[in-house]
Structure 1
Amino acid sequence: MPTYSAGAVTPDIEPFAISVPDADLDDLRSRLDRVRLPEPQTVADTSQGVPLDQMRALLAALREVDWRAREKTWNAIGHFRTVIDGLELAFWHVRSPEPAATPLLLTHGWPGSILE
């Protein structure tokens, strides 16, 4: 990815595809299998963090994800990236089927994701 000085807007917009290496997915599965959960919380609310049952359910759901199917779904949408004011940005560009549609820009903050 090229770098640009602060204040510059790059004319370079590059398409890219999500492609997670097998080694990264193997590492993720290994980490999920090694998670050490704490003892059950001593309160019935969330004042001590995520309830243990919810955390177990999340771990089980992450173990079951078909990451290659997710990549295929995500890559069906045009992904692009560029650099603006020295910050790397990734975005989807989806045209409306309505010719007179007003453009809409949706953003998210860290540590969020456009997938949310």
Structure 2
Amino acid sequence: MHMISVAMATYNGEVYLRKQLDSILHQSLPVDEIIICDDQSSDGTVDIIQEYIKQYPHIHLYQNEQNLGYKRNFKKALSLCSKEYIFLCDQDDIWDSDKVKEMVAIMNN
């Protein structure tokens, strides 16, 4: 059995976030944890994530005390992942339902 983490960096991504999270949560091969590092969003990004956390306890939100910028925010998210496979995820990506399954199969070859 594969253990899968998703590392997501967010910053003012409320426009795309629901579709993105839904696409991760409905994968044919489920993910075990979603690590989200928010880089001081000023829109509704954090509120949306907190809504999802209530229903999906494997989503974890870390709010940066100061803006780290894109690269350091992703680095932080990666450092917090604990599973065997880690998928990077931009806040505006919409994943095909078999993305995780197909990528894990490729990595195992």
Shorter chain as normaliser: what TM range? under 0.3
Structure that is richer in helix per residue: 2
Q: Report the TM-score when normalising by structure 2.
A: 0.27
Structure that is richer in strand per residue: 2
Structure with the bigger RCO (C-alpha within 8 Å, sep 6+) is 2
Q: Report the TM-score when normalising by structure 1.
A: 0.26
Which of structures 1 and 2 has the bigger CA Rg?
Answer: 1
